[in-house]
Amino acid sequence: MTNKTRYSRQITLPEIGEQGQLKLLNARVLVIGAGGLGCPVLQNLAAAGVGSLGIVDGDVVDETNLHRQLLYTLKDCGNSKAETAKKTILELNPEINVNVFRDFFTTENAFRIVQDYQIIIDCTDTIAVRYLINDVAVFKKIPVVYASIYKFQGQVSVFNYKNGPSYRCLFPEQESLKVVPNCVESGVLGVLPNTLGAFQATEVLKIILEIGEVLSGKLLVYDALHFQTQIIEFARNPKAIEKGFINGSQLLNSKKTIKNLSPEAFLEKCNQAGIIVIDVRELEETPEFKRENSIQIPLKELEEYSKKLDKNKEIVLFCQTGQRSEAAMNYLQNSGFIGVFHLAKGIESLKNKLQ
């Protein structure tokens, strides 16, 4: 241990001590999402001395992030969240190692990204990505520390811990796009993700240190507006575990056509005859992207609209950052559509290519 002084107040705790601090130093934790939840998670784990952190995020800093994502400042707008987060937390604690993945977590990169990590922290805001995290984690037997937020409320749990319940045990998958909206659509109290992110970091430290009672098989529900908490217990569902394991196995062994399009591949697809291009953003979102073969169908309306589409036609989807379009792609694929693609990093990745 190189710096006992930094961690002296933590080491003083008999439940931690020097051996516990060494456990933290040797831990390898992957944080998927460097937004509202990911920022406090990264700050707290870096400060606590967790020795190796991975950061997964394909997004860039936007001014609308700043009221809740406290790793970033106005001068960071337009820069990679993952790279900016790395720089900031290394200033906080230069003794740790930080590995950056400037990509969204997808079916194509999931196993490559998680391979070196012991714990996954789910700081995402997309339902499809949560199921993907679950299935990879179930197959790899990696515990997942989960949280989600909505307006003034949030929830936290731990999945796959010592053969405990998984995300699918608590939330059986619904083949539908009618899901809880993210904070872009519904808004969020700025301090809320910081509170929930601190809860997540606490669970991670307990897992690493093997102390206390981990939130496995329990969902902590937090209401900030009325300062109320509730614990909901849930059981392990063997069928849900099996489904996650099978999905993970199929994903690992699949040799699918690449469905995540680069900006160049996206523009090339858009110029092909017979392609249907669908913008799943809300009507007021910018920049505009218009082609003769493009239509705008907000994500929440796509399920109904898809009934009019030919399942044998090639379809290209896009949104602002790629997360909603990936959810739409997964839904259409599960509904029997043959050739569905999406712009992996969203319309923002086309800023220098739009005429």
- Catalytically active residues are 183, 319
Which element (helix H / strand E) includes 26? helix 17-26
Radius of gyration of the chain (CA): 21
> What gap in Å lies between CA 182 and CA 61, rounded to an integer?
17
Omega within 30 of 0 (cis) for the link into 287: yes
Paired tokens of 280: 């799943």
3-state secondary structure of 224: coil
**How would DSSP label each residue in 117-137?**
-SEEEE----HHHHHHHHHHH
Q: Reduced to 3 DSSP states, what percent helix, strand and coil does the chain have, rounded to the nearest 5?
A: 40, 20, 40
Residues in the chain: 355
Q: Phi/psi at 318 (nearest 5 deg)?
A: -150, 160
User: Of 311, 315, 323, 309, which Cα lies nearest the Cα of 281?
Assistant: 323
> What gap in Å lies between CA 108 and CA 125, rounded to an integer?
19
Give, rounded to a whole angstrom, the gap between the first and last alpha carbons of the chain: 55
**How would DSSP label each residue in 35-100?**
STTHHHHHHHHHHHT-SEEEEE---B--GGGTTT-TT--GGGTTSBHHHHHHHHHHHH-TTSEEEE
Distances (CA, A) of 53 to 71, 81, 93, 114, 343: 15, 15, 12, 11, 28
Q: Are 65 and 73 in contact (CB under 8 A)?
A: no
